[in-house]
Structure 1
Amino acid sequence: MYSRIEVFFKDAFPDPLGNTIRSEIEAFGFQGITNVRVCQVYILFGKVRKNDLDTIAQKLLTDTITQHYECNPAIFTKIGANGRSPLHIVEISRKPGVMDPVEQSVLKAIRDMGIDVEGAKTAQKYLIDGNISDEAIHNIATRILANTKIEDVFVYPETPNYNHGTLQYTLKKLTVPLLQADDKQLEEISIRGQLSLNIPEMQSIQRYYQSLKREPTDVELETIAQTWSEHCFHKTFKGIIDFNGNTIDNLLQHTIMKATKELNKPWCVSVFKDNAGIIDFDNTYNVCFKVETHNHPSAIEPYGGANTGIGGVIRDIMGTGLGGKPILNTDVFCFGIPDTPADKIPKGVLHPKRIFKGVIAGVRDYGNRMGIPTANGAIFFDERYLGNPIVFCGTVGLIPKNMCQKEAHPHDLIVVAGGRTGRDGIHGATFSSAELHEQSEQMSGGAVQIGNAIAEKALLDVLLQARDKDLYHCITDCGAGGLSSAVGEMGQDLGAMVNLEKVPLKYEGLSYTEIWISEAQERMVLAVPPESEHEILELFKSENVEATVIGRFTNDKILRLFYHSHLVGEIGMDFLHKGIPRLERKATWHKPLLEEPALPEKEDFGTDLKKILSSWNVCSKEWVIRQYDHEVQGGSVLKPLHGLHNDGPGDACMITPVLGSTKGIIVSNGMNPRYGDIDPYHMAASAIDEALRQIIAVGGNLGQVALLDNFCWGNTNKPDRLGSLVRAAQACYDIAITYGTPFISGKDSLNNEFVTDKETIVIPPTLLISAVSVIEDVRNAVSMDIKEPGNLVYIIGITRPELGGSHYYHIHGYKGNNVPKVDAVLGKNVMHAVSQATSQRIIRSCHDCSEGGLAVAAAEMAFAGGYGMSLNLSGVVTEGPVHRNDTILFSESNSRFIVEVRPEHQKQFETLMKDIPCGLLGKVTSEPLLKIYGLTNKLIVSENIYDLKDAWQAPLRW
């Protein structure tokens, strides 16, 4: 039995969501819609009296000024515009088992009101007017209004059937016939179980169980698959690679980790061994930083995938050491082209615009609701991200110096705290380790999770209290692999015994295996000494956060799983964590031969400049940025947008982690996948250089900068894909060593390919470099907007004929060969000189030259500050004679800055730059024009700064 409450706007008021939906429908090419109204539907299970329904509707669910409600109307009550019946009615609700935080909040609020209900469910009903066919409505419902992977769709006259019955689970211990299986059968077992294990790995498992003289249980095989997944174990980076005839034994140790070891910076507190890297900050605190990927889930369900991506990396900080406090989020996204025609979208792929909006909303809602500022990020577009969007989510945390180490002890209790366990997230780790295809949504829908930020915020607050009371020895998040990975990692050197029936469930009917590998969100696992059991459970209870003892750590290095006293799984920890065979792969790389364009000379580059400014990868991301809270927690110094109208593109963000202190941190990122089409080595080098020069541009220095690497690649079983990965990793070592910037953490996401019946869509080699730097005095911060007419404008660094992979070539349909290279010795000297100038406060504004080169950087500085510039390219320092204006205007050479200096500081500034390539470009003008004179002193750009700004803002003015 259930009751319905429908809430909708009064006819006198506009329906904001309905108007947005109508615009979305028209944007996707469906014409004829005249009006869309939306009803929010609440289904309450159990016997609820009519007066209680009215109380719930009036006091909890309805804004009585602007909204009406109806209790138990006919399911398809026709409340059309102006009182007439709509032509079409669609109702959408979450599939059974898919988490909905609104349902949980409504249920709790109703019970807090003293009204007894058995359960709650939400739905949305769309009332659509217009001259449009039933077939079009069905397409609108399934392609725009709903995500059929996680939602049920009912189109009138279909009648929704909402059941609240529970399914009981009866223990049935399952085994998998492995001992006598041949290689083909082993492969079939892996595929059928979505284990993502290869033949040598399956053979290793087979030999282990042959030695035990028994078949594995299903939960044992699942545990091994989660632990050995690419997502968790990083077996490609740790494998043996034959690269063009040279053997590399563990790519990670020979590149990324090797740089950190050789640099041996004393301020690196913890690297590559915890949930996040940790560096020194001040006398009381350290700073931790982690960036994760959540690509595959975001391709299937953008909102939930991104939502839980940011939620997961926040939990990484909560699980670092004995627990850090999240203080900053950073997010970088890669999508297909937003205006891709619908007929170009392969089967099984969501439209990139829909993925874009869903991902943005997911990250926005989670970060904002948890009260964490999102102040840094970037967005990239490329047609090759069509099948696999890339979602990088990062979090910075603050942790007391004496809380950075952790270790579970024998006999510690295993406590799971936070959210309950459901079927959401099943096979998440193994799903993330495989290629996608058009059937992924059907096969892996259970891998999609929906987050609940409010639950995680409550969990965070009580965890910090428990940490400060010293109530536990160790903590980690329940991420990829769920309890199997969390308990398995914490007990790796100990052993563990877990009673799976004690795990709190969202609903009945889960098998012991589902409980063990579910990746349901907002859960942490703690190792609690027995003497602290009562105090920590009471503390969690006092804050309405569920915490349950589900087992204990042992001292025999065996993982034992029980379900109602029945032993359902038993694995040796040594085999689980060390029994995986090493991958052995071949890798090749050969420099591609690309066409080098011979573009005609021209006299005016204003049109080219506006085209680059309005290109997807350069244009303003203000529509996204303004959805995030940048100032919550009160420590923001430099936010993403700068300038007169707070809409210029900042280079990096700066915050003060400890309020009242002038000591701060800077966070930046660097990435340019197009360079990888020419040479992934120089792509990686440029990404590091970009991340570092952004730190320098806002007033930082190289004294204490730590890097994070995030590799997103295609199928590395293929030698050319793996070869490009190797080359990029080698650059990471070379450049980090010269700059003196160690890596402290990282993550890889491989197999980002989408297989269609016609082709395989492979993402471009994508490396995100994130950087975190400590700055002694945030009062030295510099923004990128020019400040006052009459000031001098300089360019620092060398400009080379490096247009390969540039935006200038891209708008003309070319890639080119001369990719920007990094001279790290020169770059380090340039950055040091700029840092000296900013520390002496003689630079008024600074902007790094990156996408679009000098011309784009100057335009952004001008329209951000509201003043013009008069510049002359003859002041640019070049390497050798460069005779073309377009080369100097649009080259994307590394280690370059445009700076603004007051005339009275000219001598002091030029003294600082005496051994550095630096040229006087011109000056700031009160006239709102960007004027650039070419090598022969002819005017080659003359554009109103507001026209330039309009070109920059127009593409994402949604």
Structure 2
Amino acid sequence: MHSRIEVFLKDEYADPLGKNVISEIETFGLAKVKSVRVRQVYIFFGKLTENELDTIAKKLLADSVTQHYLCTSDSSRQTPHEHFHIIEVSRKPGVMDPVEQSVIKALRDINISVDGVKTAHKYMIDASVPAEAIPVIAAKVLANTNIEDVFIYPEIPKYRQTVFSAPFKKKTISLINAQDVQLEKISAEGQLSLNIHEMRAIQQHYTTLRREPTDIELETIAQTWSEHCVHKTMKGRINFNGKIIDNLLKNTVMKATEELNAPWCVSVFKDNAGIIEFDEEYNVCFKVETHNHPSAIEPYGGANTGIGGVIRDIMGTGLGAKPILNTDVFCFGMPDTPPEKIPKGALHPKKVFKGVVAGVRDYGNRMGIPTVNGAIYFDERYIGNPIVFCGTAGIIPKNMCQKESRPDDLIVVVGGRTGRDGIHGATFSSAELNEQSEHMSGGAVQIGNAITEKMTLDTLLQARDRGLYNCITDCGAGGLSSAVGEMGQYTGACVYLEKVPLKYEGLSYAEIWISESQERMVLSVPKEKEMEIITLFNAENVEATVIGHFTGDNMLRLYYQSEMVGELEMDFLHNGLPRLEREAIWNAPGFEEPSLPEKENYGTDLKKLLSEWNICSKEWVIRQYDHEVQGGSVLKPLQGVQNDGPGDASIIKPVLWRNKGIIVSNGMNPRYGDIDPYHMAASAIDEALRQIISVGGNLKRVALLDNFCWGNTNKPDRLGSLVMAAQACYDIAVAYGTPFISGKDSLNNEFITETETIVIPPTLLISAISVLDDVRNAVSMNAKEPGNLIYLVGVTRNELGGSHYYYIHGHKGKNVPVVNAFSGKKTMNTLSIATAHGIVRSCHDCSEGGLAVAAAEMAFAGGCGMELNLSQAVVEGEITRNDTILFSETNTRFLVEVKPEHKIEFEAVMKDVPHGLLGKVRQEPCLKIIGLNNITIIEEDIYALKEAWQSPLRW
């Protein structure tokens, strides 16, 4: 028995959700629509009186000022309406809906009992839309059919409580006598993502044991051995152009950190996040994760749980850190891609874009963590495989950074309940996508509940400070299998799976074990602390359940209803993986420099660059994030007189009563990788570092994170470019003295269609975190005062290869920007001395679009004009073209604003590094740039430039 309440805006109020639907329908060219009205529907299972329904609507669901509601005790009655098409969309059974959980809790608070709740959205679209367009609108705009059911009137919505039936039956897999073809079939059908060498190793192990594996044992091995969890390509043996590299990760990224041996690096490459020293009381930890494949299937849920997962990484670092900031970087296909160009099985980039942004927004904001830094990158090749980087930094007491599970400690799971969401997430993320992925792997997508995670976080910090547990980690990829497997690697563990709290009945023991349901943490709790920690969590309305204990025999034993369903040696689980052996090659692609005609005026080119997807304002995204919460934000993503200019890096104060801060920045430019992946990686590091310098930081205590997103590294050319990029990470990090403390790789980012394989460009995100001794020395990027001097610090070279200038003219080029780390480090160190002296009024690094774009951004962010002369720029080699100096993306360059009275002091500080006085800030709102031949080549109103920059993403 069930009833429903529909809540909707009164007719006199505009419907913003409906307007957004109209915009999306017209964007996709599906129909012309006059009106759409949206209703929130709540379905209640169980017997409710009319008075109870009315009470629920009035007290909990409807705003009496702006909304009406309708109650009915029979949800099967759908009133026909001649003026509307009616579409109703709801989550599929088993897909988590945080609203449902919140409603159930609220009902308990007002003493109304129900058996269950389901929610839906009802869309009422005007009848002028052709009936044949309605199913297309439902599938393309209103619903993601991987996780949602669609009902179109006169179809009657049939809602029922989520009930699954899975009677307990222990299952074994016939493996010992299987041939290679059968082994490959077992891996494929089980979505294990294990290759034939790995399947043979498992077969040999069980042959030695003289028994067949159970399903849960194979699942555990597959999760633990997945590329996502163990990074087996980066740790394998690679034959690169005849040279053997034994463990690429250890010989590049990790080697740089080892050689630098920075004493302020507290914990690197071993915990959920890297940790560096902050002050005498606290350390800071930082982690950036990827959530690419889930976001391709379900953008909102994939990104939602991407940011939720990396927040839990911080919660599970040491004995638990408090998250203090979020950062995110996204890569999408072109938002204006015609619908007919979308590969079968892929979502439109605009839908992915909006879903990803909404997912990160909702989770971060609800957790009360400021999103202070990020970037968005567009390329045609991300169309089937978006890249979603989510990062979080946290603060942790110095004496809380070490942890260890101990024999006889209890295994306690806290936070959310376990469901079918996220099954095979780790193995799914280790494979390529194709047009069937949305159907085969929909179960790998989770939906998060930030409120549950926020409650869990707050309670965990109390438990940490009371010393109630010895070790902690999060349930991420692989769920309990990975969390317990990692925590018990050197002890062993015994788990009773029927004790795990479930969202609903009917999960098999294997599903319970590998589910990646969100908001769950696992604790190692001394027996004597059991009652105290359970009481604490119960008091805060957070579930905490003992599901087993750690042992001392190095065995993993899994039980379900008193029967052992799995038994694995920890040594085999963690050390039995065969080493991958791969071939890698790299050959220069042989692009040529284009021959572009020289122009007398480059104003149109500058406007076109400012409007380019990768340069234009991302304010539409940034404004959706809370970057003020917690009160520590000093330098925010948007800066300037109207707080809408593009900041280089962000600064926050982790401890509000102190002036010490941290800076977070990032660098990435995949287009360079098309020409040379080594220089792409080097440039990414340089960009992240120069952003830190731009805002007033220095190189004394900067730590880096690497995030490699690549194609199928089984293919030698793909792997070769990865090797080149990793080698650059070592070279440039050592040269700049900036160690890596954490990282992640996500491989096989390819989308296979019937006619082609779409491979993402080599994508390396470098994130940087730095300690700033005094946030009062922060420098923003906006021009400050007319009359101030503008310097270009750094040398300009003919390096337009992979530039945005070439891109808008349809070329790649070959002269990719190269990092000269020796002079680059000297330039950065010297400029940081000037900012420390307080003589730098503003600073902006030259990156996408080069000098011209940087000058335009500084000018319109400050509401001032500028007059610059290119002949004063320091160049290397003979440069005779104006567009080369205007748009070259040479590394380690800065536009710096200095007061006239500080001219002598600034030039004295900078005397040993390249710098040129280009001109000054003007009162008139005009950007004027004089070329090498002393003729004006750009003269544009700054507000026209700003409009070109802001208009593309003004959605």
Q: TM-score range by the shorter chain?
A: over 0.9
Contact 2:3 2:75 in 1 (8 A): no
Deviations 1:877-922 (A, max 9, x none): 0002210000000000000000000000000000001111000000
Write the distance in 2 (CA, Å) between the matches of 1:915 and 1:111: 71
Q: Which letter does structure 2 place at the counterpart of 1:14?
A: A
Does 2:596 align with 1:589?
no
SS in 2 for 1:247: strand
Aligned to 2:513: 516
Contact 1:95 1:150 in 2 (8 A): yes
SS in 2 for 1:172: coil
Q: Select which of 573, 589, 594 maps to 1:576.
A: 573
Aligned to 1:407: 404
Does 2:118 align with 1:121?
yes
Deviations 1:413-456 (A, max 9, x none): 00000000000000000000000000101110100000000000
Does 2:197 align with 1:200?
yes
Q: 1:405-804, aligned counterparts within 5 Å?
A: 405-804=402-801
Aligned to 2:6: 6
Aligned to 2:318: 321
Q: Select which of 240, 243, 262 maps to 1:265.
A: 262
Contact 2:3 2:73 in 1 (8 A): no
Contact 1:34 1:130 in 2 (8 A): no
Write the distance in 1 (CA, Å) between the matches of 2:238 and 2:510: 35
Change (3 A) 1:166 1:79: closer
SS in 2 for 1:364: helix
Contact 1:711 1:747 in 2 (8 A): yes
Contact 1:76 1:156 in 2 (8 A): no
Q: Which letter does structure 2 place at the counterpart of 1:67?
A: Q
Change (3 A) 1:76 1:566: closer
Aligned to 1:956: 953
Residue 74 of structure 1 and its aligned partner are, at CA, apart by 6.6
Residue 132 of structure 1 and its aligned partner are, at CA, apart by 2.2
Q: 1:55-454, aligned counterparts within 5 Å?
A: 55-72=55-72, 75=75, 85-164=82-161, 166-454=163-451
SS in 2 for 1:733: helix
SS in 1 for 2:825: helix
Write the distance in 2 (CA, Å) between the matches of 1:510 and 1:78: 34
Contact 1:46 1:119 in 2 (8 A): yes
Residue 660 of structure 1 and its aligned partner are, at CA, apart by 1.3
Write the distance in 1 (CA, Å) between the matches of 2:237 and 2:477: 25
Q: Select which of 910, 913, 922 maps to 1:913.
A: 910
Does 2:861 align with 1:859?
no
Write the distance in 1 (CA, Å) between the matches of 2:634 and 2:61: 39
Write the distance in 2 (CA, Å) between the matches of 1:889 and 1:165: 61
Write the distance in 1 (CA, Å) between the matches of 2:556 and 2:78: 58
Aligned to 1:41: 41
Write the distance in 1 (CA, Å) between the matches of 2:267 and 2:432: 33
Deviations 1:644-700 (A, max 9, x none): 110000000000000110100000000000000000000000000000000000000
Contact 1:35 1:130 in 2 (8 A): no
TM-score by length of 1: 0.99
Write the distance in 2 (CA, Å) between the matches of 1:951 and 1:178: 62
Aligned to 2:865: 868
Aligned to 2:931: 934
Q: Which letter does structure 2 place at the counterpart of 1:47?
A: K
Deviations 1:267-326 (A, max 9, x none): 000000000000000000000000000000000000000000000000000000000000
Write the distance in 2 (CA, Å) between the matches of 1:470 and 1:849: 49
Question: Which one is further off, 643-652 or 155-164?
Answer: 155-164
Write the distance in 1 (CA, Å) between the matches of 2:581 and 2:375: 35
Contact 2:416 2:518 in 1 (8 A): yes
Contact 1:79 1:127 in 2 (8 A): no
Write the distance in 1 (CA, Å) between the matches of 2:665 and 2:842: 17
Segments of structure 2 that go 5 or more residues without pairing to the other structure are: none
Residue 87 of structure 1 and its aligned partner are, at CA, apart by 3.2
Residue 596 of structure 1 and its aligned partner are, at CA, apart by 1.4
SS in 1 for 2:53: helix
Write the distance in 2 (CA, Å) between the matches of 1:670 and 1:932: 28
Write the distance in 2 (CA, Å) between the matches of 1:830 and 1:79: 72
Deviations 1:517-539 (A, max 9, x none): 00000000000000000000000
Contact 2:3 2:74 in 1 (8 A): no
Residue 245 of structure 1 and its aligned partner are, at CA, apart by 0.2
Residue 169 of structure 1 and its aligned partner are, at CA, apart by 3.3
SS in 2 for 1:893: coil
Change (3 A) 1:728 1:570: same
Contact 2:143 2:150 in 1 (8 A): yes
Write the distance in 2 (CA, Å) between the matches of 1:873 and 1:115: 74
Q: 1:801-816, aligned counterparts within 5 Å?
A: 801-816=798-813
Segments of structure 1 that go 5 or more residues without pairing to the other structure are: none
Deviations 1:320-370 (A, max 9, x none): 000000000000000000010000001110000000000000000000000
Aligned to 2:28: 28
Write the distance in 2 (CA, Å) between the matches of 1:845 and 1:688: 22
Contact 2:93 2:162 in 1 (8 A): no
Q: Which letter does structure 2 place at the counterpart of 1:379?
A: I
TM-score by length of 2: 0.99
Residue 572 of structure 1 and its aligned partner are, at CA, apart by 0.3
Residue 404 of structure 1 and its aligned partner are, at CA, apart by 0.1
Change (3 A) 1:74 1:87: farther
Contact 2:36 2:126 in 1 (8 A): yes
Residue 792 of structure 1 and its aligned partner are, at CA, apart by 0.4
SS in 1 for 2:287: strand
SS in 2 for 1:266: coil
Write the distance in 2 (CA, Å) between the matches of 1:11 and 1:746: 52
Write the distance in 2 (CA, Å) between the matches of 1:86 and 1:164: 32
Write the distance in 1 (CA, Å) between the matches of 2:647 and 2:417: 40
Change (3 A) 1:928 1:77: farther
SS in 2 for 1:65: coil
SS in 2 for 1:308: helix
Deviations 1:194-251 (A, max 9, x none): 0000000000000000011010000000000000000000000000000000000000
Write the distance in 2 (CA, Å) between the matches of 1:224 and 1:306: 26
Q: Which letter does structure 2 place at the counterpart of 1:26?
A: E
SS in 1 for 2:312: helix
Write the distance in 2 (CA, Å) between the matches of 1:319 and 1:13: 46
Write the distance in 2 (CA, Å) between the matches of 1:949 and 1:85: 47
> Over aligned residues, Cα RMSD in angstroms?
0.9
Residue 135 of structure 1 and its aligned partner are, at CA, apart by 2.1
Write the distance in 1 (CA, Å) between the matches of 2:162 and 2:735: 63
Write the distance in 2 (CA, Å) between the matches of 1:623 and 1:34: 25
Q: Which letter does structure 2 place at the counterpart of 1:459?
A: T
Give the share of equivalent positions with the same residue, in percent.
74
